[in-house]
Amino acid sequence: MSTVNVNPDVFKAYEVRGLYPSEITEDLFRALGRAFVAYLGPGRYAVTRDMRVSSPSLSEAFIEGGREQGGTIVDYGLTGTDMMYFAVAADGLDGGAQITASHNPKQYNGCKLVRREAFPLSGESGIKEMKEMLLGGTLPLPASTRGGYEKRDIMDRYVDHVMGFIDRDVIKPFNVVLDAGSGVAGLVAPRLFDQLPCRTTRLCFEVDGTFPNHEANPLIE
């Protein structure tokens, strides 16, 4: 039986999201990690996170829950959501979870979840069943054998993959202003744009989950 407090409103159409720590907690994410593996079955799963202040502890809790349920976790650490999708597909994993609240303000956090080949779980398939497990207290007992754990880096392979879409010979020199929004893009964008014939003006490239310059969504400024 699940005894964790769960606000049903955190289960959205394509993610779990809410205010931290009033709605999104480490206890919830530990249970969510268990429900994720219980739904998809014992396999190998990517777990990644963004730079929000609460993301490291939420990621640790999700990983702990997934391993309790018998899942083997491949921890890629601090990455963007698109990098999690790539990791799941490139490494042939059974699914993945990105701890993030995307463009929402800093007081939020959440989780995006995918199955094999990075197909998203949703409120109609996947998130729905996980929600029912947690709200109904029907989460299966932990596995008899704890799942494994390994750390892996995806950045170099991801950059090579993205650059593989680009014909650098046809790109003329240009100027571009980049705003990384204090997010993980501040780590990735230089690796890409430094290979292109462009001059960049870079704003908010220091990764900082307190968002000292503006909210994660610049369109609201």
Using CA atoms, how far residue 195 sits from 68, 173, 189, 190, in Å, is 43, 12, 10, 8
Domain tally, the chain = 2
Same domain, 15 and 107: yes
Residue listed under structure tokens 């593996």: 37
Same domain, 178 and 145: no
CATH number of the domain enclosing 103? 3.40.120.10
- Indicate if 102 belongs to the active site: yes
1 located within any domain: no
Per-residue pLDDT of the chain (221 residues; tens, 9 = 90+): 446 889 999 999 999 999 999 999 999 999 999 999 999 999 999 999 999 999 999 999 999 999 999 999 999 999 999 999 999 999 999 999 999 999 999 999 999 999 999 999 999 999 999 999 999 999 999 999 999 999 999 999 999 999 999 999 999 999 999 999 999 999 999 999 999 999 999 999 999 999 999 988 766 55
Same domain, 25 and 98: yes
158 located within any domain: no
Same domain, 116 and 189: no
Same domain, 88 and 170: no
| Residue 99, strand partner residues | 49, 111
Catalytic residue, candidates 54, 57, 59, 102: 102
35 located within any domain: yes
Q: First vs last Cα of the chain: how many Å apart?
A: 45
Q: Do residues 37 and 95 make contact, with C-beta atoms less than 8 angstroms apart? A: no
Q: Do residues 9 and 15 make contact, with C-beta atoms less than 8 angstroms apart? A: no
List CB contacts of 46: < 8 A, sequence separation 6 or more: 73, 74, 76, 84, 87, 88, 91, 93, 95, 96, 97
191 located within any domain: yes
Name the residue range of residue 51's domain: 8-153
Burial degree of 199 (CB within 10 A; 0-12, 13-18, 19+): exposed
